[in-house]
Amino acid sequence: MDRNRRAFDVIGQLTTLRRYARSLARNATDAEDLVHDALVRAYERRATFRPGASLRNWLLSIVHNTHVDQVRSSAARARRDDAAMLETDLSYAAGQEHSVHLAQVRQAFLALPEEQREALHLVAVEDLSYQEAADTLGIPVGTLMSRVSRARANLRAFDDGTRKPSHLKIVGGGND
């Protein structure tokens, strides 16, 4: 047992590990973190160490592989961050009026009769052909086309302001 403990004397290798980590990381703080991470890996994988093999070489290999993994991880993180930045540069916050209008259109859509809402959803949102949507609902294509047409007309009338949703009431607007 004492011989195995001496064969796995990691403390005696710290100077070598720190020196190598410093040359890889080029920064004392990052080098200490690298040595720490490598020692954690070495401890977790201590069963893979072959007795009689060079502990120093095994530990240096772990330091090297840990450094490579960290560099790759950092590069991947930078690519993800750059891609996210591009996406945020392309998006604009919706103005309050636009958000309110979209909410009102959604409410108007939900206020449509169920048959019209189903038909319009399948054609406009799910991008089904008229025939596919009619088959899905089990109705003739002409009936589906009529329902979609009426749903679009109702939404257009709402959007033009000629039809108000039934739940909205203008207070003090005129002689109603």
- pLDDT tier at 101, thresholds 50, 70, 90: confident
- Every domain of the chain with CATH number 1.10.10.10 lies at 97-160
Computed over every residue of the chain, the mean pLDDT equals: 84
49: CB partners within 8 A, 6+ apart: 8, 42, 55, 58
pTM over 0.75? The answer is: no
- Every domain of the chain with CATH number 1.10.1740 lies at 2-89
Tokens of 47: 């069963």
What is the model's pLDDT at position 176? 45
Q: Give the DSSP H or E segment for 166.
A: none
What is the model's pLDDT at position 9? 81
Interval 118-139: pLDDT, tens: 899 899 988 889 999 999 889 9
Higher per-residue pLDDT: 169 or 58? 58
What is the model's pLDDT at position 79? 92
> DSSP state, 13?
G
Q: Where would I find the beta strands (DSSP E) of the chain?
A: none
What is the model's pLDDT at position 105? 85
Q: Give the DSSP H or E segment for 61.
A: helix 55-90
CATH architecture group of domain 97-160: Orthogonal Bundle (1.10)
Asked: is 2-89 a CATH 3.30.160 domain? The reply is no
Interval 141-168: pLDDT, tens: 999 999 999 999 998 888 777 555 444 4
Tokens of 19: 């020196």
Is residue 12's pLDDT more than 80?
yes
